[in-house]
Structure 1
Amino acid sequence: MLALMMDRALSLPSILEYAALYHGDREVVTRTVEGPIHRYDYASALARSKRMANALLAMGVKPGDRVATLAWSTHRHFELYYAVSGIGAVLHTINPRLHPDQVAWVANHAEDSVLFFDISFGELVGDLAAKLPLVKTFVAMTDRDHLPTQAPAGTLVYEELIDAHSPDFTWPEVDERQASGLCYTSGTTGNPKGVLYSHRSTVLHAMALVAPDTFDLGARDAVLPCAQMYHANAWCTPYAAPLVGAKLILPGRHLDGPSICELAVAERATFLLGVPTIWVGVLDHLDQTGGKLTTVRNIAIGGSAPTASLVSRVEEKLGATVRQIWGMTETSPLGVINTALAKHADEGALGAASRKLKQGRGLWGVDLRIVDEAGEILPRDGKSPGQLQVRGPWVASAYFKNEGAQAFTDDGWFDTGDIATLDPEGYLRLTDRAKDVIKSGGEWISTLDLEDAVCSHPAVAMAAAIGVPHPKWDERPLLLVVLRPGQTADPEVLKAHVAERVARWWTPDEVRIVDSLPIGPTGKVLKRELRDQVATAAV
């Protein structure tokens, strides 16, 4: 027997429609790329999103077309989150920290037809335009006075498009399983892989985020996401905040300690999130100035694991509760979050500190399992490490264009590439990474790309890139190089050689020339052994 309930699609525009109707005067505040603070409310954001929806249709954008952004966290980017997906097109947020060649690669792989960009990327877009044959329209996200001179010929101006179109618009009915967003992950070796979100998956994910045991958000909160909107959709906060009518504070391009503290104080932020390096900068600034963030209730830390000292510093300095999270682009990104259970009320300071170092506990919507190399499920005893696999309604079932299919199991799970344990209370703890990528400041760095870059130098025979601990960035690359017989090379010259071939922030802090590298029985470099050797200063 089928139920007699209305079958209403879960759609992203419904979130902003709700916010405008029931929380229409709640603010969206932006530190703009041009400089000044911009503020308006959800009712105005909806009207402008509808104007942009009309503009997109006038450009010829059709359902399923990919519309790209190279943009920071701003009110204009927020409008595109709804306008693009709302007409049935797919919003492709490109990470501008990628090497320019990779920016072009992902835009071409996604088959983007329109590219919106912030003025700080005018030179980049101007240089790349000839390499983007499928992009028919470029739009600078600014007004006429700030249009970059380097922008491609014929570039349209965002504010002129807004002014030229009416806010009269009715969102089309879309299948909730229709694609709404596309994010590429560089958390694997080789080319980035595309993760294609749906309206349904994103709405469900946003609903999960606002729950008390996740981000605990409501209409009285002021949310300051210190993860950029090109990075896993700013951890879905541009959807979660309007879903409950929370104030949304968008930091623009500046995520340094002074800028974040200034916004958080001025706008009375109650919830902040970001990678560990963000909080190092915030705490260092507060220590230097004697300032305080008195309104913050919760801080979510993810991207890479925070240290015990960082968690302690955040909670002592800010008086806020730290909630560590683990997730991936493939999980939208929330996978687990570290919140206490009722039984932990009397756990004491040491017990709480130990628990908070775990990545988090499972929540409804994400199933977790740990398997061994044979695929057998391991016990949840907190002691048996294995491959972490996940599934759920906001977890990817495949990569865009079915690349990287080996990451998805025959029985419907996604293999994360992480090695972890699960304990009897359901807390996940990562113990190692199966892949050899390096996480620096919450962003992935491909060791294969670094090794390929240095091995293109004629003096280099082989190389291995590993991550080493760093007080600010959590990990930074160390490149160990074996030279060809009879060859010599200055490590600084090799570093410069690599810097010319990868994104600037990927450049290793150190290139170290060694006599040999440990090789395993299959001919692969034993990187775990290398990390152990480096840790004990044996190399």
Structure 2
Amino acid sequence: MDGLMMDQPLLLSDLLWRTERLFHDKKIVTYLEAGSYHSYTYADFAKRVRRLSSALVKLGVRPGERVGTIAWNHYRHFETYLGIPGSGAVVHTINMRLFPEQQQYIINHAGDSVLIVDEDQIPLIEQVAELGIPSVRAFVVMGDKPLPDTALAPIYRYEDLIADGDEDYEFPVLDERTAAAMCYTSATTGEPKGVVYSHRAMVLQTMCLAMHDKLNMSESQVWLEVSPMFHVNGWNIPHTALMQGATLVFPGVRPTAGDYVQIVQDQKITGMNGAVTIGTMMRDFIRSSSQEWDLSSLKTMWLGGQAPSRAIMEWWERYGTCVVQGYGSTENTPQVCFSSIKSTLANGSPEDIYALRQKQGQPIPLMKIKIMSDNGLELPWDGRSAGELWVQSPFTASAYYNDVRTKEHMQDGWFHTGDVGCIDPDGYVVIMDRVKDLIKSGGEWISSIDLENALAAHPKVREATVIAIPDEKWLERPLACVVADDKSLSEADLRAFLAERFAKWWIPDSFLIVDTIPKTSVGKFNKKELRALYSENGMRGIEQHLEIVQDTVA
């Protein structure tokens, strides 16, 4: 017997239908330059989205075609989030921080037919075009300046294009499994892998994030979207803010840590999301600033990419800001878990609460998760048994786009994450490491993440990362790279600090106190680069590449 319900598809355009009627007067704000902002209403936004959709149809973009974007976080880029899939095409956000050769690969693999780019990205796109992107038949430039003198052709101004669009354009009714968006993973080995999101997956994930024990994204929120919009749809935050009618604030072109702090004060930001490095950079800016900043409005800071340390959590509490975290990946649209405190655990001691907040959280609704041993056995949720995390949900990828690596990661209806962790009896997930980042020393496993979190908790440490380096006796040993907050920091300090927390054999044999740690295009520590430097020329390879503050190598 079938249920007698209307068979209405879940489409991104339906989020817009709700918002332009219920929250038509709420604002989308973009930081332009020191002290100035662009602001318009969701009603204005909806008209421009429809103009864009109709303009793309006039341009010859057909349903299912990929339209690439290479842009910063701003209102025009957000219009493409709805305007491109609203027409039946697929918005493909491209990481602007990649090398031209990597961007060429991604554009060609996706088969983008149109590229919509920020005006400051034109020199980069010219390099990519010279390498060869035969599927691209038009370029659209976002910005306020006249079209640049360029060999790219045909080329259009974004504003001219949508001026000829129809603000009464009717979005087609699509199958909810139609592709809406596309992102590529920042692969650790080989070429990036393409993930194609359906309208259904994105709407379901948006609804999950809005729940009160997740982000609690509500109409009263004023949310700053710092996470790059080219990275997993900005963690799906823009869609969630849109659905709920929250005031949505974008940091604009080439923002700095100081800009983020200024925006929080100016716009009375209540919540923001970004990489852990963003929270650290903002802290460092405030520390070095002679100005007193009013950041009392900021209640939630969601930091991702890696686990935020207890030290950064405690530092932000002086402003009444709660640092939260989650766990996800490109393949999961992106959230798998979100960290919130169950009411039955809320009365624990401060130490218990911090320990809970250091975990990656519980699976979000509709997400199933299990831990699997190397020999294929499912492990118990006891907080101790560690294995690879497998996940399954309506918003988890079933395959990579035209990629033979699908069979390595998607098997029997489960996505094999490549992350090693455990789950406690209350369902809180703890990520111990990536499979590739675990350190096997003398036959025993050492978690680089645990060491990093411990080092980051040292009061004189700003950042820390740990990699495995070859060892003749033990096979592998940990090497720690540390950025100091205090020039007096020494190797002896670090060793003594870790000795209180770990067995002796866990403590790195080697420490480097450096000026900076290389990061990936999405703000994570670039362990791949560090391992490559070591592989090429040992410890000297890393020392020559990084600015060594102190010689602390054991």
Deviation at 1:34, TM superposition (A): 11
Q: Residue in 2 aligned with 1:224?
A: 224
Q: Residue in 1 aligned with 2:250?
A: 250
Distance 1:426 1:536 in 2: 40
Distance 1:466 1:349 in 2: 32
TM alignment of 1:194-213, pairs within 5 A: 194-213=194-213
Q: Residue in 1 aligned with 2:411?
A: 410
Q: Residue in 1 aligned with 2:525?
A: 475
Q: Residue in 1 aligned with 2:506?
A: none
TM alignment of 1:156-235, pairs within 5 A: 156-235=156-235
Q: Residue in 2 aligned with 1:268?
A: 268
Deviation at 1:490, TM superposition (A): 8.2
SS state at 1:227 partner: coil
Q: Residue in 2 aligned with 1:241?
A: 241
Q: 1:52 to 1:372 in 2, by over 3 A?
A: same
Q: Residue in 1 aligned with 2:363?
A: 362
- The question of whether the paired residues in 1 share the 8 Å contact of 2:410 and 2:416 is answered with yes
SS state at 1:475 partner: coil
TM alignment of 1:44-443, pairs within 5 A: 44-130=44-130, 131-143=132-144, 145-150=145-150, 152-287=152-287, 288=289, 289-314=291-316, 316-436=317-437
Distance 1:358 1:116 in 2: 39
| Superimposed CA distance per residue, residues 21-72 of structure 1 (whole angstroms, 9 cap, x where no aligned partner) | 1100100001248995211010000100111111100110001100000001
- Higher mean C-alpha displacement, 172-181 vs 300-309: 300-309
| Superimposed CA distance per residue, residues 451-505 of structure 1 (whole angstroms, 9 cap, x where no aligned partner) | xxxxxxxxxxxxx998845567673543214669xxxx9859x96xxxxxxxxxx
Distance 1:413 1:509 in 2: 40
SS state at 2:436 partner: coil
Letter in 2 for 1:406: K
SS state at 1:401 partner: coil
- The question of whether the paired residues in 2 share the 8 Å contact of 1:195 and 1:400 is answered with yes
Letter in 2 for 1:337: F
Deviation at 1:362, TM superposition (A): 1.7
Deviation at 1:537, TM superposition (A): 4.4
Distance 2:295 2:35 in 1: 23
Distance 1:74 1:25 in 2: 19
Deviation at 1:301, TM superposition (A): 1.3
- The question of whether the paired residues in 2 share the 8 Å contact of 1:397 and 1:408 is answered with no
- The question of whether the paired residues in 1 share the 8 Å contact of 2:68 and 2:115 is answered with yes
- The question of whether the paired residues in 2 share the 8 Å contact of 1:407 and 1:416 is answered with no
SS state at 2:418 partner: strand
Distance 2:146 2:251 in 1: 19
Letter in 2 for 1:126: E
Letter in 1 for 2:383: G
SS state at 2:76 partner: helix
SS state at 2:229 partner: coil
Distance 1:375 1:536 in 2: 42
Q: 1:146 to 1:305 in 2, by over 3 A?
A: farther
Q: Which runs of 5+ in 1 are unaligned?
A: 448-463, 496-507, 512-534
Distance 1:159 1:8 in 2: 34
Deviation at 1:325, TM superposition (A): 0.7
Q: Which runs of 5+ in 2 are unaligned?
A: 439-447, 453-464, 468-476, 485-515, 518-523
Distance 1:90 1:158 in 2: 18
Q: 1:94 to 1:10 in 2, by over 3 A?
A: same
- The question of whether the paired residues in 1 share the 8 Å contact of 2:138 and 2:153 is answered with no
Deviation at 1:98, TM superposition (A): 1.0
Structure 1 residue ranges, 4+ long, deviating more than 6 angstroms after superposition:
437-440, 464-467
| Superimposed CA distance per residue, residues 99-137 of structure 1 (whole angstroms, 9 cap, x where no aligned partner) | 110001000000000000001101001222231111000
Distance 2:478 2:185 in 1: 20
Give the RMSD, CA atoms, in angstroms.
3.0
- The question of whether the paired residues in 2 share the 8 Å contact of 1:436 and 1:466 is answered with no
Letter in 1 for 2:139: F
Distance 1:147 1:466 in 2: 50
Q: 1:90 to 1:350 in 2, by over 3 A?
A: same
Normalized against structure 2, the TM-score is what? 0.81
Distance 1:352 1:253 in 2: 38
SS state at 1:63 partner: coil
- Higher mean C-alpha displacement, 286-295 vs 64-73: 286-295
| Superimposed CA distance per residue, residues 198-234 of structure 1 (whole angstroms, 9 cap, x where no aligned partner) | 0000000000001011101111111111101101111
- The question of whether the paired residues in 2 share the 8 Å contact of 1:193 and 1:403 is answered with no
Instruction: Tell me the matched-pair count.
Output: 478
Deviation at 1:371, TM superposition (A): 0.4
Q: 1:402 to 1:385 in 2, by over 3 A?
A: same
TM alignment of 1:459-538, pairs within 5 A: 468-470=481-483, 475-476=525-526, 477-478=529-530, 479-481=533-535, 491=541, 509=546, 537-538=553-554
Letter in 1 for 2:525: E
- The question of whether the paired residues in 1 share the 8 Å contact of 2:193 and 2:403 is answered with no
- The question of whether the paired residues in 1 share the 8 Å contact of 2:327 and 2:361 is answered with yes
Q: 1:58 to 1:383 in 2, by over 3 A?
A: same
Distance 1:276 1:466 in 2: 21
Letter in 2 for 1:43: A
Letter in 1 for 2:388: Q
Distance 2:134 2:34 in 1: 29
